[in-house]
Amino acid sequence: MIPHVNTRVFGSAPRQALAIHCTLAHSGAWRGLGDALGGELSLLALDLPSHGKSGDWDGTGDLHDVATAMARSVMAGPMDVIGHSFGATVALRLAVENPELVRSITMIEPVYFAALLQDDPGQRAAYDTSHAPFAKAFASGDLMEAARVFNRDWGDGTRWHDLPQATRDYMAARMHFVIGSSPFIRNDSAGLLARNLFARATMPGVLVHGGKGPPVSAQINASLARRMPQLEQVEIAEAGHMAPITHPALVADVVRGLLSRS
């Protein structure tokens, strides 16, 4: 059984895309992109488990399996798929495991560290060092501090104390999701790398990274591009990691370019 899946739609165009948000956001994160695309594409946006109004992940089973099953369950047929950060890793799985359902794919800074770590095992020490402050805070039970560190590393640059208290509480309550993401994000729990499924994803696609985002995002994109050479790489120089929220018009331009060739 998968949790209840909450969805909402932005736009009214006949051509429909599935939009999958990042960790600690919700389906409303896609409103700006939906508005920017106007009548060109309608976005079916879902809330990931334990986010928005979807049901909670109960801690059993693999979180990424659950999230991917939820996304798959709302696809009635082939769709353009757009994912951001964690959501982009779900989009990746849909593309390689169910290519018949994915008409095109847009991945915005997918946090699929596993591909980079396979290509460059020397990056493991850097990964563990960069994640140590978060891991220490979570292990101590200080979820607010864990959320602060996570937001510092992967947010839009807004200072922690400038965020509304309700936003900080929402983030802190979902730190278990960050921990639950690790088996897939870091260790490829679904076995995509071992099974070498990437050649199945022959649909048109684009890998996006922000010029002001974490440098590792561009490295991850390069690792994926080596495995999926049909994907175009695009940098949005003005944006950081949260491009769909902070720069939706520029992301819309990237999506339009993809749609024109798919």
Tell me the pLDDT tens digit for each residue of 196-226: 889 999 999 999 999 999 999 999 999 999 9
Residue 198 has what pLDDT?
95
Q: Tell me how many helices (H) and strands (E) the chain has.
A: 12, 7
Are residue 78 and residue 30 in the same domain, yes or no? yes
Cβ–Cβ under 8 Å, residues 221 and 227:
no
Number of domains in the chain: 2
**Low-confidence spans in the chain with pLDDT less than 70:** none
Of 180, 205, 226, which closes a domain? 180
CA–CA distance, 229 with 222 (Å, rounded to integer): 10
Are residue 70 and residue 93 in the same domain, yes or no? yes
Cβ–Cβ under 8 Å, residues 116 and 212:
no
Are residue 73 and residue 129 in the same domain, yes or no? no
Residue 63 DSSP symbol: H
Alpha-carbon separation of residue 98 from 72, 79, 106, 149 (angstroms): 9, 11, 15, 35
Q: Do the domain assignments include residue 174? A: yes
Are residue 141 and residue 104 in the same domain, yes or no? no
Are residue 227 and residue 193 in the same domain, yes or no? yes
Residue 11 has what pLDDT?
92
Write the CATH number for 212.
3.40.50.1820
Are residue 45 and residue 109 in the same domain, yes or no? yes
Q: Do the domain assignments include residue 118? A: no
Are residue 103 and residue 213 in the same domain, yes or no? yes
Who's near 108: CB < 8 A, 6+ residues apart? 82, 83, 84, 85, 88, 208, 209, 243, 244, 251
Residue 260 has what pLDDT?
87
Q: Do the domain assignments include residue 169? A: yes
Q: Do the domain assignments include residue 176? A: yes
- Owning domain of residue 100: 7-113+188-260
Are residue 150 and residue 207 in the same domain, yes or no? no
Q: Is the dihedral of CA 22, 87, 188, 181 positive or negative?
A: positive
Of 180, 201, 221, which closes a domain? 180
* 64-87 confidence digits (pLDDT tens): 999 999 999 999 899 999 999 999
Q: Do the domain assignments include residue 1? A: no
Are residue 66 and residue 146 in the same domain, yes or no? no
